[in-house]
Structure 1
Amino acid sequence: MRGRRRGTPGQDRWERADWWGVVVDSSDPKALATFYSELLGWPLWKPEEMDAGEAAIDSGEGVVGITFHLKEDYVRPTWPNTPGEQQMMMHLDFEVSDLAEATAYALEHGAVLAEFQPQADVRVFYDPDGHPFCLYAG
């Protein structure tokens, strides 16, 4: 965004103005944060302060994170989209060097492979809350 000051490597996250993240609705934020923490190797953000309403993971680089927020009336999306059903609002993409290895790893950690796979170099999965996410070969 124009006019924002950039941080410097190693600078504390809260002193920076260039960090960002996404917030993902969840029926169980702690469980979903733990799933993505294990999948990506990103540490839980302040796990001692997590409560039932919110949990987060941090890329470890201090500028990127994902927050998982409790939505008590959360409804799992359908993908591909189905008319009249809860639509996917967004999805996460992660580049991997070895798609077969990353696919096996994701499945071992609780991801579910989607039946419909639209591209040969991409694998679509569902996380424990049913959010689609993609691994793609880089």
Structure 2
Amino acid sequence: MAIATLGVTVLDCPEPRALAAFYAAVLDWKVAEDRSDDAWVELDGPHGRTLAFQRSEGYRAPSWPGTEHAQQFHLDLDVPKQRLDEAEGEVLRLGATLLEGDNGGSRGWRVYADPVGHPFCLCAQ
């Protein structure tokens, strides 16, 4: 049984609406206005796919293929709400590190780093 399913792919950027407009044009996806604001913009794609753009103050563009400003992103992994604690235990066992909890259950996500430091979230569904 899988620990989680892949949810939203999120790209950090300085201007979410501008980058979303670019990808909307490239992919012919639509902005989900009901789930978007100035700091977070989501695009709806086929088959339930979602691509989101999150404002990152002080954003520095990656330099590819160099590593001085490596590419950065985070993944939101959906987990049934009743399995969130179990999923946390499993990702920790696999080498993840808890970076930020769900504030005593008041938020629907928890933030982790994978074994090499890339952030990802377990999101209660």
* TM-score (norm. length: structure 2): 0.50
* Structure holding more strand per residue: 2
- Alignment partner, residue 60 of structure 1: 46
The letter of the residue matching 1:56 is E
Higher relative contact order (CA 8 A, sep 6+): 2
Query: Which structure is larger by alpha-carbon Rg, 1 or 2?
Result: 1
Q: Which residue of 2 aligns with 1:86?
A: 69
Q: What are the Cα deviations for residues 98-122 of structure 1, in whole angstroms up to 9, with x where unaligned?
A: xxxxxxxxxxxxxxxxxxxxxxxxx
Structure having the larger proportion of residues in helix: 2
Q: How many angstroms does 1:69 deviate by?
A: 0.3
For 2:55 and 2:42, locate their aligned partners in 1 and report how far apart those are by CA, in whole Å.
12
User: Residue 3 and residue 53 in structure 1: after superposition, are their counterparts in 2 closer, same or farther (change >3 A)?
Assistant: closer
Extract structure 1 runs of 4+ deviating beyond 4 A: none
Where in structure 1 are there 5+ consecutive unaligned residues?
Answer: 5-17, 91-138
Structure 1 residue 70, shift from structure 2 partner: 0.4
Aligned alpha-carbon RMSD (Å): 2.2
Aligned length: 73
Q: Is the 8 A contact 2:35 2:42 kept in 1?
A: no
Name the aligned partner's letter for residue 20 of structure 1: G
- Provide, for residues 53-92 of structure 1, a one-character-per-residue CA deviation record: whole Å limited to 9, x for no partner: 0101111322x1111000011001101114xx211136xx
What stretches of structure 2 of length at least 5 have no aligned partner? 74-125
Give the SS at the match of 1:61. Answer: helix
**TM-score under structure 1 length normalisation:** 0.46
Pairwise CA distance, 1:49? 5.1
